[in-house]
Amino acid sequence: EDCDGEESVVLGDARISLEQEISQGRSEQFDALFVDAFSGDSIPIHLLTREAFELYFQHLKPDGVLAVHITNLHLDLSDPVRVLAEELGKEAILIEHEGEEYHMNYSVWVLVSDNRKMLDEIVFDGWMTPWERDVPKDIHWTDDYSNLLDVIE
């Protein structure tokens, strides 16, 4: 009730729900889409594949932003997300938040978008975290292939 815009909640597997909407000829055209799903300590891999990212961008406005929550104590998921962004011709920035209690408030997000103005504002406001590597590891995850050994810290 405190939101200025329209909001909706769809229960179930988000990827399946988004695929069903596309198959019915519907695309939500979101300004932002947040991928923030966890199974245990990690985001499920099927949400971090090329096919999943292509689906997300079918549901985003051309200047929309995909926000991917990749916090993990044992895996560095930034490289596969960064590589996917590059493959799709998008830009990606890393945001790490460290709260007072590290294990309670620490979170890592990657923002992926074509919206250079919005990304520049985030960088200017000091929210961006430098990438650990100038060039990401060459990790290409698809629905048919992923390897967690590539991302173990």
Q: How many domains does the chain have?
A: 1
Does the residue 36 lie in any domain?
A: yes
Q: Is residue 3 part of a domain?
A: no
Residue 2 counted as domain residue: no
5 falls within a domain: no
Confidence of residue 12 (pLDDT cuts 50, 70, 90): confident
Say if residue 11's pLDDT is above 70.
Answer: yes
On whether residue 7 sits in a domain, the answer given is: no
- Any domain includes 68: yes
Domain holding 85, by residue range, is: 14-146
Of 1-15, 107-121, 138-152, the range with the lowest mean pLDDT is 1-15
Quick: pLDDT tens for 95-144.
998 766 656 678 899 999 999 999 999 888 888 899 988 899 999 999 99
User: CATH number for the domain including 75?
Assistant: 3.40.50
Is residue 71 situated within a structural domain?
yes
4 within some domain: no
One-character DSSP codes across the chain:
---SS------S-HHHHHHHHHHTT----EEEEEE---BTTB--GGGSSHHHHHHHHHSEEEEEEEEEE---SSB--HHHHHHHHHHTT-EEEEEEE--SSHHHH-EEEEEEES-HHHHHHHHHTT--B--SSSS-------SS---GGGGB-
For the segment 45-89, what is each residue's pLDDT rounded down to a tens digit?
999 999 999 999 999 999 999 999 999 989 999 999 999 999 999
The pLDDT, as a whole number, for residue 125 is 87
